[in-house]
Homo-oligomer: A and B are copies of this chain.
Amino acid sequence: MKVIVQKYGGTSVGTLERIQAVADRVARTRAADGDAVVAVVSAMSGETNRLIQLARDLAPRPVERELDVLMATGEQASAALLAIALQQRGVAARSFLGHQIRIGTDSAFGRARIRRIEIDSLREALRRGEVPVVAGFQGVDDDSNITTLGRGGSDTSAVAVAAALEADVCEILTDVDGVYTTDPRICPAARKLARISYDEMLELASLGAKVLQIRSVEAAKRYSVPVHVRTSFDDSAGTWVVREEAGMEDILVSGVALDRDQAKITVERVPDKPGLASKLLGPVASAGIVVDMIIQNASHGGDTDMTFTVPLADFDRALPMVQKTAAEIGAAGVVSDSNVVKVSVVGLGMRSHAGVAARMFDVLARENINIQMISTSEIKISVVLDAKYGELAVRELHRAFVEEVDGTGGHG
């Protein structure tokens, strides 16, 4: 008997009809091979936003502890409703909330991290032949305060439960049917990947692919939980996110990603002294703003330029902070551009194949696209471009790295 954890996202439980369909699917999965199923559910789509709006109407910045108490009701309701729908089908089921399982987290309200899971109650339920229906997204800290894991946190709940149960697979059932080589809305030639490694998925997630929350992929990698991303609307296979396997490096690039959520800030001609980056970025980081790419150009005569990117939504907050610090440390000026995008290629093959970067720059140069920033990791190359070139760049890179090499094997 296998243990299958199935996570259903907000759109998959967005209406009572969808909840009925989910109950049917759980029942079917169970009946097919006698497998044990654990369901993990998100809030009904729209519910989380509705709750946040209620809180914001009362207070511009609602106190985070209470916001978590409020938000946790969304998944609590979904879990109860799915359990009710399952029982109605004669499937023994029981909802489990964060404090019942229990999913222990730190006390960082709104973005808590799971520290431990006590799954005895889940195991008992499985032993009794029940389907445990776990409220995703939520946990409790050591003082029994309710916490939430941040947007997309139900993915992390599901992977954590799968890891704790040593489940055979964690299925992420969602409104897309898998992980694509790039966004099909931009590039019609995009195709679904059959398999992808944790590391590649991590890069793609951090580059704006919404299909999985980064932390859920990190957790899946750490505990070697096989993740299967698939649609909840039919039974077709999706994309398996798994440990690196033989042959995966044969393909250069698994995905091309476009991240529009970028703004660029350059501090010009800063006196080049130790502690410079810390002085400039410290206030930004303290304000909870995530700085993404950071580049410090070679100094010209004791001065240096520093450029970095921040999420678009934080740009208006970040800019005055940087301007203030720049003036204090005697920089020549601050220039900024919120009309940029980041385009990246990701693939395990880069580790063993030289020349991917050169080829990437060549593809962009042929289209007369100017590269503003470059950042690389072991399996990723990202460039920042003028926003208007974003989609063109994605299509051309996809053609060069994915379409023209298809059929050469690999894990596509």
Instruction: Give me the interface of A with B, judged by CB distance under 8 Å.
Output: 16, 19-20, 51, 54-55, 57-59, 62-63, 65-67, 69-70, 72-73, 76-77, 79-81, 83-85, 87-88, 93-95, 97, 99-100, 144-146
Contact = CB atoms under 8 A, between A and B. Distances in A.
A94 B80 contact: no
Q: Can you tell how many copies of this chain the complex includes?
A: 2
13 contacts: A55-B81, A55-B84, A58-B81, A59-B88, A63-B83, A63-B84, A65-B94, A66-B81, A66-B84, A66-B95, A76-B76, A97-B146, A100-B145
A65 B84 CA distance: 9
A376 B144 CA distance: 50
A81 B50 CA distance: 13
A85 B73 contact: no
A144 B95 contact: no
Contact of A54 (B73, B81, B97): B81
A16 B58 contact: yes
Nearest to A76: B73
Contacts of A73: 73, 76-77, 80
A16 B54 CA distance: 7
A84 B72 contact: no
A84 B99 contact: no
Given A58-B81, A76-B72, A77-B73, A66 B51 contact: no
A57 B144 CA distance: 33
Contacts of A66: 80-81, 83-84, 87, 93-95
Contacts of A20: 58
Interface residues of A, dominant DSSP = helix
A50 to B, nearest CB: 10
A383 to B, nearest CB: 43
Nearest to A59: B88
Given A72-B76, A73-B73, A77-B73, A67 B84 contact: yes
Given A69-B80, A70-B81, A99-B144, 15 more contacts: A19-B58, A54-B77, A55-B80, A58-B85, A59-B84, A59-B85, A63-B83, A63-B84, A63-B87, A65-B94, A65-B95, A66-B80, A66-B93, A69-B76, A99-B99
Contacts of A62: 84, 87-88
Contacts of A57: 16
Contacts of A146: 97
A69 B97 contact: yes
A93 B65 CA distance: 10
